[in-house]
Structure 1
Amino acid sequence: MACGGHLGWTSPALPHLTGPDSEFPVTKAEGAWVASLYTLGGILASFISGFCVDRLGRKFSLLAFALPQLAGWGLVIAAKSVVTLYIARFVAGIGHGGIYNVAVIYLGEIADKNIRGALGTFLKMSTNLGTLFVTAVGAYLPYWQLNLVSMVVPLTFVATFVFMPETPYFFLIKGRDEEAEQSLMKLRRVNKPESVREDITAMKDAVIEGQRSSRNAIFELVGTKGNRRALVILLGLKATQQFSGHMAIVAYTQEIFSHSGSSLAPSQAVIVLGGAQLVAGFVAAGLVDRAGRRPLMLVSGIAAALALAIEGLFFYLKYEAEVDVSSFTWLPIVALIAYEVMVALGIGTLPYVLLGELFPTNVKGPAVACGIIVGSIFAFAVGLGYQAINSVAGIHTTFWIFAICCASGTIFVFWLTPETKGKTLEEIQAELNPPAKVVPGA
């Protein structure tokens, strides 16, 4: 939620900052940097989190990365110039990248295989909830109060998460088997150690197998066939997710809605959009462990691409063909809501589920860090390039580019991704790394 708050903050904040009531002037170009620098902070966090996650542990790394998020809000509140906003967004982005890096590992390691997919979707759903919270507050409160209220979310996280357990996998990596047992008992809500010993043994075998290689984790990531396949899937997921324009659409939602000419105020349309995202998130949580990852990914990606193409068509008719669109100003709002719903059902949610599932414990840290780094670079390029492409080729072209990227990326990833529904992390690794066939007489 804290991450979603920072992501969605630009939607109500940029119209104020670039408007006449701002305490200091912010141009459109500067606004694009304010929106995009948040994703660059995530790149730095990915290097830091790889170090933290196996030293501090998953739990305390999450608590540590909440501090830059709090610092970001403090700087936003104190900002008297656009440079301070740049710093605030970059610092908050460090927290975002770190939290996502560690959270996908944490969730993947604490969840039972039957609910792991549903729990993974909550990562995106809670991000959407944070975005909805900030945009709703921004619709009815002035800018300075928006910033103060937004700070409550990361504060609440720090106050509550300190009581959560560390993952059993981390304790096993450190050779603290008894604490791993206690952690799993707490997570499973059981009192007898023998009820979790079979699972602890399977987890320990997976950890030992992962640690058996003497190679550096980075070399292990690219040197093993199954890990390479998982890495290609991961990078394809991040490319599809970001080049579908999600970062730009979240950052400029109110501005995009203002182009429609609808009688529904952009600030209110954003709240409707956020509500639809939440509903879709709950649907995704219910479907991901029933329908599976692959079907959801294909349906959501193709449907999202269609919604983006319709969005682009509306803006083409309005600005290029100069057609009277007053009778269907509702279309871009409906299309954008449909896009966000479809993203929440699959391509925006499942990458975080699969991030925690596809990699063995010994390379999970660098693998997730690699995904966040690449995703952050893509998101930065999309966020900064959105305004530039609009100026050069028109907003309709921007949406058509997003649609093409979304459709082609979805098909590519669907073709490569194995179904992980109902499988333990150990079973997934066995599928990605099948034993070599023995040739008779060799």
Structure 2
Amino acid sequence: MSFLVLFPFMPESPYFLLRKGKDEQAKAALKWLRRKTDIEEDFVQLKADVQRQTSEKGTWKELVTVEANRKALLAGKSGSNLSPDMSTLVYSGMVLILNSATCFMTEYLGRRRSYTYSIGACAIVLWILGTYFVIDEFQPQIDLSSFQWVPLAGLVCYTIVSSFGVMMIPTLMLSELFSASIKSKGLMIMSFIIGAGTTSVIQLFYFLNTTFGMFCPFMLFAACSTVSSVLTNWIVPETKGMTLEEIQQSLKKKKKESVTKSEPLPQI
């Protein structure tokens, strides 16, 4: 409900307005988003970036043939949330509060470190929960009556650590990874993958739980989270404080052109 009420007041993206040739509206949106009045330098740079990116063809083929676009797809896929389907009212309330605090943590740590720490902590929580369910199912002689608080505590801990990276970073970075020329196609593909992945994970959790036991999906998700935390450093780029153009150049492994000092001409 809050989203429906507040989102209409959000200005249109300056990138979109520049692509449509609406320079003045783009300036107004940039002023609102940057919270400053002197945005001429930013506007000129942004316009040049959009012109360069829109000069690309932006075909479906380039989504997989261009290295930067392939990396953007991989980075988006790496953000699939593999949490179990155990949402409750308390869980939703905690997510709302914690996600509000995520903005500050992400800005402090950066995208990549926030995601790495978050998914790593999620893996630890899931391993603990998986171990608990293994003991509960295969070691009935062990009395777990004093540890019945573990699943609830694990849910709370998972909610906390996932809110500071796993649940927010992938969505945040989707709008930062793709060039303006390919953004609509890339986001469409990623939205489809995320939707299909979420549906598949729910079905997979149900299948593993009913077929093998509660421990199985937790162990699987723990293993996936562990692998993801390791691969993050190679797949997910750091985009904190970077413009869309700088991100594109980083994905293409192009270094910024350094300003060279003029040297005196050799005397003949």
- Cα shift readout 1:95-121 (whole Å, capped 9, x = no counterpart): xxxxxxxxxxxxxxxxxxxxxxxxxxx
Q: Secondary structure at the match of 2:181?
A: helix
Q: Confirm or deny that 1:228 pairs with 2:74.
A: no
Q: Confirm or deny that 1:174 pairs with 2:26.
A: no
Counterpart Cα distance in 1 of 2:12 and 2:212: 50
Give the corresponding residue for 2:196. 377
Aligned residues: 254
Counterpart Cα distance in 2 of 1:311 and 1:339: 10
**Scaled by the length of structure 1, what TM-score is found?**
0.54
Q: Confirm or deny that 1:349 pairs with 2:168.
A: yes
Residues 178, 309 of structure 1: CA spacing in aligned structure 2 closer, same or farther, 3 A cutoff? Answer: same
Q: Secondary structure at the match of 2:107?
A: coil
Counterpart Cα distance in 2 of 1:413 and 1:374: 18
Counterpart Cα distance in 1 of 2:25 and 2:170: 30
Amino acid at match of 1:403: A
Structure 1 unaligned spans of 5+: 1-152, 255-269, 437-442
Match of 1:303 among 103, 121, 140: 121
Question: What pairs up with 1:319-398 in 2 under 5 angstroms?
Answer: 319-322=137-140, 323-398=142-217
Counterpart Cα distance in 2 of 1:434 and 1:180: 29
Give the corresponding residue for 2:236. 417
- Kindly indicate whether the alpha-carbon contact (under 8 Å) linking 1:308 and 1:336 is maintained by their aligned counterparts in 2: no
- Kindly indicate whether the alpha-carbon contact (under 8 Å) linking 1:168 and 1:181 is maintained by their aligned counterparts in 2: yes
Task: Please report the RMSD computed on the Cα atoms of aligned residues, expressed in angstroms.
Answer: 2.2
Match of 1:210 among 38, 53, 72: 53
Counterpart Cα distance in 2 of 1:427 and 1:347: 24
- Cα shift readout 1:168-217 (whole Å, capped 9, x = no counterpart): 21110011112212222343455x6xx2222121111111111112352x
Percent identity of the aligned residues? 30
**Scaled by the length of structure 2, what TM-score is found?**
0.86
Per the TM alignment, residue 162 of structure 1 is displaced from its structure 2 partner at its CA by 3.1
- Cα shift readout 1:63-103 (whole Å, capped 9, x = no counterpart): xxxxxxxxxxxxxxxxxxxxxxxxxxxxxxxxxxxxxxxxx
Per the TM alignment, residue 398 of structure 1 is displaced from its structure 2 partner at its CA by 1.4
Residues 380, 220 of structure 1: CA spacing in aligned structure 2 closer, same or farther, 3 A cutoff? Answer: same
Residues 307, 372 of structure 1: CA spacing in aligned structure 2 closer, same or farther, 3 A cutoff? Answer: same
Residues 164, 214 of structure 1: CA spacing in aligned structure 2 closer, same or farther, 3 A cutoff? Answer: closer
Q: Secondary structure at the match of 1:361?
A: coil
Higher relative contact order (CA 8 A, sep 6+): 2
Q: Secondary structure at the match of 1:162?
A: helix
Question: What pairs up with 1:25-424 in 2 under 5 angstroms?
Answer: 153=1, 157-189=3-35, 195-216=38-59, 218-238=60-80, 241=81, 244=82, 246=83, 248-249=84-85, 252-253=86-87, 270-271=89-90, 273-322=91-140, 323-424=142-243
Counterpart Cα distance in 2 of 1:159 and 1:279: 18
Counterpart Cα distance in 2 of 1:283 and 1:164: 20
